Chain A
Amino acid sequence: MDTSFAPEDLAFRDEVRAFFAEAYDSELQARLNNLETFKEAVIDWQKRLYKKGWIAPGWPKEYGGTGWNATQKFIYETERSAAGIRDVIPFGLNMVGPVIYAFGNEEQKARFLPGILQSDDWWCQGYSEPGAGSDLASLKTRAVREGDEYVVTGAKIWTSYAQYADWIFCLVRTSNEGKKQNGISFLLIDMKSPGIKVNPIVSIDNHHSLNEVEFNEVRVPVANLIGEQDKGWTYAKALLAHERTAIAGVADSKRSLAETRAFAEREVNGGKSLLSDPLFQKRLSDIEIELMALEFTELRVLATVAAGGAPGAESSMLKIKGTEMQQAVQELRMEVAAYYQGVLPNDLTPEQLGHDFGSQARQTYMYGRASTIYGGSNEVQKNIIAKAVLGL
């Protein structure tokens, strides 16, 4: 039982810190914060990580991973969050990439992995459907084999960044025999294929990142099927556990809480800062205490994975607690902003408006409501724990 850093860990930390300080420059940050330039700025940033060799810490070394141990991964995540750097867009690097190297054939690995690592291909995820959310296995988008092609018809929903995507990985129904989990296949589809239509969805934060993707007799080469036909659910399940571990976001919550604390210190009313208000302190410490525990829960899961174990039902716990904490921090920041939480984005400068973070705090808070819904809703995660851990 030891969580202290060895000298070589500290040297690694310094290296990570120095790289972020240099590579994540203010010009890039400005482009990331501008909706017009967001996509190319993300690609630019991810290419810088690729050149450094750090684009895929979660991948095995043979496929382009870093070969870091659990401590190094933890240090990297902590430094990334501390530097205010958002995680990579997950759909290629954290989701379909691992499925391809684990279950794809050699040709598929050679064809798709370089484009993912180098961020030349933008991926999106085609899982949920209007009628299949928490009950994902009830999905109805069907793929009918005709010669060397599948003909895909149906609709996917809540597809983040489909408007930017070159490729979509989809769960499609190839058979109605037996259990509904059987008969699902994992298919890679070129977004330029005829018959695909992307319909934007404006979310509760007034932004457009979500979409509905319609498939109307879209022809997909059989070579784009991952693994075996009708076995896609197995691959998807492996991916979902991966996704849940990634969305705990403890390091990001810690950083966000520290910022919120700094904002509260700045708010002075009647000669006293908000930070000295006992009720506010209680709300702050309630969150901080949970995060202190969650950080070690995450480390315990990381250590299990590093020792060769698979993230099982523990990843559900990380997802539940991680997203609850994210939402708690987001809510607290809204309280600090007081009336200014209500301001919609406008052309006024912070000086004219009298405030500098209210609008952003609300957008993050509003969109943050989705985190307990996506990636398998928290209710579904509780079912998994009840079944797999508690044996109920």
Chain B
Amino acid sequence: MNFEFTEEQGMLRDSVARFVQDSYDFDTRCKIAASDEGMSRENWQTFAELGWLSVPFAESHGGFGGGPVDTMVMMEEFGKGIVLEPYLATVLLFGGLLQRGGSVEQQAELIPRIIEGSCLGAFAYLERQSRHAITDIKTTAAVEGDQLVLNGEKVVVFNGASADQLIVAARSSGEQSDEDGITLVLVPADAAGVERTAYRMMDGQVVANITFTDVRVPVADIVGEAGEGYAVMSPVITRANVALAAEALGIMGQLNAKTLEYTKTRKQFDVPIGSFQALQHRMVDTFMAYEQVKSLLYRAVCELDGEGDDTAACVHALKVLVDRNGKKIFGEAIQLHGGMGITDELDIGHYAKRLMMINTTFGNGDYHQAKFNELRYSA
């Protein structure tokens, strides 16, 4: 039994923490969020130089060969700075799909480019009707000779406006919500027939709706097997959910720390408001809410690391708790900051909005609770 990080993991964490500390203060973050792309390409190059973009990739492709713990320690630190650069979209999703399902040629071509920071990627999975069901796909992929023809639309594509390459989840057979019949396709973002409409989200990121009109790519650009895309994307999304939970933990820790600090300094009725027992108890509750998320995160990461047989239930449970405790923590943080808590000028609201976005990404709490119930209690 050991919950310590290895020396390498500790160094990785310290490296991200130092960057956030030195180069990602709240004002800087606001400027990046307000920029056209909602992220900094200069920072992305720094990430590449520091080796962060290589962490989850196999050593054979120039990667660091890291596991879920390595991703976790990085994401938690990213969360503390509400870092906007597209690590999730490019490295964990786009790169994760290539690593798990890509052909030898695809991997050899694209993974080194991700690692050196010259290829930004995105995973276009969501459609306007699909809510949290990742299998609800109407975009079609039809085979014509040695080509694949894509038609349809994807929405709220993270990093979709800046990405050079997309992996699109399209339907090649089956019914609209079937797991079978989903085909993952690599599409250059500048391919003929691809049209992107960019817009901003509350957490500062720029996303895109992307339409595909008779977009033609070689059949060789399928990622994994035709019609078998679900088997590739499902574990990648599971890992992404754990990574998002780690980011959420970093945010929750910051919210609690900042709120605690505020209640020690803000005086009303001639005393710090933190001296009121009613508020102390609430901060004890948010402290425990944070610790519980951390425990369940560690449990999920251990499952992933050992490919345990309870992985699915663990990750569903984690998303439920992140949702519930996240709302509690940011709700109290805003409330206890009083009027200041509802200003755009203070960072509290920005942490809250990122938590809200994490909660709705790849299934909200209710969605995962229903999945958990199905796994545990259905006959």
Could you tell me which A residues sit within 8 Å of B by CB distance?
128, 131-135, 138, 157-158, 201-204, 206, 210, 267-271, 274, 277, 279-280, 283, 331, 334-335, 338-344, 346, 348, 352-355, 362, 366-367, 369-370, 372-374, 377-379, 382
Contact B201 A343 (CB under 8 A): yes
Q: Is the interface of A mostly helix, strand, loop or mixed?
A: mixed
Contact A369 B341 (CB under 8 A): yes
**B residues 311-358 touching A (CB-CB < 8 Å):** 327, 331, 334-335, 338-339, 341-345, 349, 352-353, 356-357
Contact B364 A338 (CB under 8 A): yes
3 smallest CB-CB distances across A and B, nearest first, come from A354-B128, A135-B268, A204-B349
B379 interfacial by beta-carbon distance below 8 Å:
no
Contacts A342-B357, A372-B335 known; list 8 others, CB within 8 Å. Answer: A202-B345, A206-B344, A269-B131, A270-B133, A344-B200, A367-B342, A373-B339, A377-B335
The minimal Cβ–Cβ distance linking A128 to chain B, given in whole angstroms, is 7
Q: Which residues on the B side are within 8 Å of A283 (C-beta)?
A: 366
26 contacts between A and B (CB under 8 A): A133-B338, A134-B273, A158-B339, A201-B345, A203-B344, A204-B334, A204-B342, A269-B130, A269-B132, A271-B177, A277-B366, A334-B356, A338-B364, A339-B126, A339-B155, A339-B360, A342-B203, A342-B357, A343-B200, A344-B199, A346-B199, A348-B197, A354-B128, A369-B331, A372-B335, A373-B342
Q: Which residues on the A side are within 8 Å of B209 (C-beta)?
A: 352-354
User: Total A-B pairs in contact (CB under 8 Å)?
Assistant: 129
Contact A138 B349 (CB under 8 A): no
Knowing A269-B131, A280-B366, A344-B202, the reply to whether A204 touches B344 (Cβ < 8 A) is: yes
Nearest A-chain residue to B135, judged by Cβ: A270
The minimal Cβ–Cβ distance linking A260 to chain B, given in whole angstroms, is 14
Q: Is the interface of B mostly helix, strand, loop or mixed?
A: mixed
Please report the C-alpha to C-alpha distance between residue A353 and residue B198 in the assembled complex, in whole angstroms: 10
Contact A279 B370 (CB under 8 A): yes
Please report the C-alpha to C-alpha distance between residue A268 and residue B128 in the assembled complex, in whole angstroms: 11
Q: Which residues on the B side are within 8 Å of A378 (C-beta)?
A: 335
Please report the C-alpha to C-alpha distance between residue A331 and residue B129 in the assembled complex, in whole angstroms: 20
Q: Which residues on the B side are within 8 Å of A128 (C-beta)?
A: 339
Please report the C-alpha to C-alpha distance between residue A226 and residue B298 in the assembled complex, in whole angstroms: 62
Contact A346 B200 (CB under 8 A): yes
Please report the C-alpha to C-alpha distance between residue A239 and residue B117 in the assembled complex, in whole angstroms: 61
Q: Which residues on the A side are within 8 Å of B199 (C-beta)?
A: 343-344, 346, 348, 353
Knowing A338-B132, A339-B156, A366-B349, the reply to whether A138 touches B269 (Cβ < 8 A) is: yes
Please report the C-alpha to C-alpha distance between residue A362 and residue B349 in the assembled complex, in whole angstroms: 12
B361 interfacial by beta-carbon distance below 8 Å:
yes
Please report the C-alpha to C-alpha distance between residue A157 and residue B325 in the assembled complex, in whole angstroms: 31
Please report the C-alpha to C-alpha distance between residue A182 and residue B133 in the assembled complex, in whole angstroms: 61
Contact A370 B129 (CB under 8 A): no
Contact B133 A269 (CB under 8 A): yes
Q: Which residues on the B side are within 8 Å of A202 (C-beta)?
A: 343-345
Please report the C-alpha to C-alpha distance between residue A342 and residue B276 in the assembled complex, in whole angstroms: 35
The minimal Cβ–Cβ distance linking B206 to chain A, given in whole angstroms, is 10
Q: Which of B278, B344, B349, B364 has the most CB of A within 10 A?
A: B344
Contact A267 B131 (CB under 8 A): yes
Please report the C-alpha to C-alpha distance between residue A146 and residue B327 in the assembled complex, in whole angstroms: 52
Contact B343 A355 (CB under 8 A): no
Contact A373 B155 (CB under 8 A): no
Nearest A-chain residue to B205, judged by Cβ: A342
B70 interfacial by beta-carbon distance below 8 Å:
no
B106 interfacial by beta-carbon distance below 8 Å:
no
**B residues 219-277 touching A (CB-CB < 8 Å):** 267-270, 273, 276
Nearest B-chain residue to A203, judged by Cβ: B342
Give the contacting residue for A138; candidates B129, B200, B268, B369; CB below 8 A.
B268
Please report the C-alpha to C-alpha distance between residue A128 and residue B268 in the assembled complex, in whole angstroms: 12
B279 interfacial by beta-carbon distance below 8 Å:
yes
Please report the C-alpha to C-alpha distance between residue A321 and residue B327 in the assembled complex, in whole angstroms: 19
Q: Which residues on the A side are within 8 Å of B370 (C-beta)?
A: 277, 279
Nearest B-chain residue to A339, judged by Cβ: B156
The minimal Cβ–Cβ distance linking B99 to chain A, given in whole angstroms, is 25
Contact A338 B197 (CB under 8 A): no
